[in-house]
Amino acid sequence: MNKNINWYKIFNNKNFSYYKDSKCLKKNNYFHYSFNLQKIIYPGLNFYKFKKIIKFMINTLKIKKKKTILDFGSGNGAFLNYFTKKYDLRNNLSFELSRPLINFQKKFITKTNFYQTNQKKNNVFKKIDNNIVDYSFSNSVFQYFHSNLYCLSVLDFLIRVTKESILIYDIKDFNKKNIYKRKVRIRQNLSSTEFKNKYKNTPIRFYKKIFFIKILNKLKKKYDFKYEFISMPVSATDSKFSYCLLIKKYSENYEK
């Protein structure tokens, strides 16, 4: 992976397209608004797919009303907005690399505290108390991490601050790396050279499951939890090339 890439600068650029496009949206009901936000990132998304993905997340995390949730890499707030409004979630936490996107979220997401992350500095993690939220999730974010060490620090952080369940959604499978790239190239109707030039400054990080197994087994010495790898919902566009990681903290809701 290109270590010279500076995601902090890219996502904080005022011309960052997700931010510009998000500003143009009209607020309808919270489901339509959340769907339209997510569609900016995934243009091929439709109502059917979005509903299936939402349902998958709800059932996997076992979300209940008036609980708390943490969204790591919350982007333009598509999922956080939906869960907050649907389940009247309170005292939520939003962690995002982009200051413009955080400012955008603040305009319509309530009952939430916002934090800007930085992959080279983890000081923001230290501000958060242990077991402060019921659920945590991270949607299609781990592919942008610049190092294994940062991945470890994020997993450690999420497990420490979460009481019940954590869902890492859409982890790019290292074993499907070449197939995935070819699929995306064909889907976008790009030649090999065009594809390489388009993504040369925004590399995607792929993971082997053994990588997470080693990290999580080490973290088990600090925290009491169990974990499993689960498949992406079939309705997800790249379900064949990604997987999810579900972590359950041992508690009255998740007994040993």
Give a yes or no: residue 220 inside a domain. Answer: yes
> Which pLDDT value is given to residue 1?
41
Give a yes or no: residue 256 inside a domain. Answer: no
> Which pLDDT value is given to residue 2?
45
Give a yes or no: residue 72 inside a domain. Answer: yes
Residues with Cβ within 8 Å of 157's Cβ and at least 6 positions away in sequence, in order, are: 122, 125, 128
Cα–Cα distance for residue pair 173/243, rounded to 1 Å: 7
> Which pLDDT value is given to residue 4?
55
Mean pLDDT of 117-143: 93
Task: Give the least confident one: 3-12, 38-47, 67-76, 162-171.
Answer: 3-12
Q: Taking the CA of residue 208 as centre, how many other CA atoms within 13 Å lie in the half-sphere pointing to its CB? A: 4
Buried b (16+ CB within 10 A) or exposed e, 172-181: bbeebeeebb
Average pLDDT, the chain: 89
Total number of domains constituting the chain:
1
Mean pLDDT of 147-162: 96
Give the model confidence (pLDDT) of 184-194 as tens digits.
889 888 898 88
Give a yes or no: residue 2 inside a domain. Answer: no
Domain that residue 116 falls in: 7-249
Give the model confidence (pLDDT) of 33-56 as tens digits.
999 999 888 877 888 889 999 999
Residues with Cβ within 8 Å of 187's Cβ and at least 6 positions away in sequence, in order, are: 44
Give a yes or no: residue 17 inside a domain. Answer: yes
Give a yes or no: residue 201 inside a domain. Answer: yes
Q: Domain holding 170: CATH number?
A: 3.40.50.150
Give a yes or no: residue 102 inside a domain. Answer: yes
Burial of 205 (0-12, 13-18, 19+ CB in 10 A): middle
> Which pLDDT value is given to residue 26?
76
> Which pLDDT value is given to residue 39?
87
Give a yes or no: residue 255 inside a domain. Answer: no
Edge-first strand order for the sheet with 162-172 is 112-116, 92-96, 69-72, 133-139, 162-172, 242-249, 225-231
> Which pLDDT value is given to residue 254?
47
Task: Answer whether residue 14 shows pLDDT above 80.
Answer: no
Give the range with max mean pLDDT: 43-57, 111-125, 126-140: 126-140
pLDDT top residue among 108 and 1: 108
